[in-house]
């Protein structure tokens, strides 16, 4: 099983950081597609393919923990 990478991004604002991360992930996914491994990568990450979309796995629980 292939291990997923860790990605990080930076920016002067939250929006810039999100945009930077989105750009890095898009480049990674485009390269996986070019290499013919996109389906394998998405399945290993827990995504499920429907007729037209890839859906991320859903958490089984979520909890907010206050930080004091």
State how far the Cα of 28 lies from the Cα of 64, in Å rounded to an integer. Answer: 31
For residue 59, the model assigns a pLDDT of: 84
The pTM assigned to this predicted structure is: 0.67
Confidence of residue 66 (pLDDT cuts 50, 70, 90): very high
Nearest to 24 by CA among 11, 9, 39, 36: 9
For residue 4, the model assigns a pLDDT of: 54
Q: Beta strands of the chain (E only): which ranges?
A: 48-49, 54-55
For residue 5, the model assigns a pLDDT of: 60
By the 8 A CB rule, do 19 and 11 touch? yes
What's the pLDDT tens digit per position in 27-65?
999 999 999 999 999 999 899 999 999 999 888 898 999
């Amino acid at each position: 099983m292939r291990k997923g990478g860790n990605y990080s991004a930076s920016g002067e604002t939250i929006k810039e950081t999100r945009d930077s991360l989105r750009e890095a992930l898009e480049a990674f996914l485009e390269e996986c597609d070019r290499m013919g491994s996109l389906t394998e990568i998405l399945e290993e990450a827990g995504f499920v393919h429907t007729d037209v979309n890839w859906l991320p796995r859903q958490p089984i629980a979520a909890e907010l923990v206050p930080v004091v």
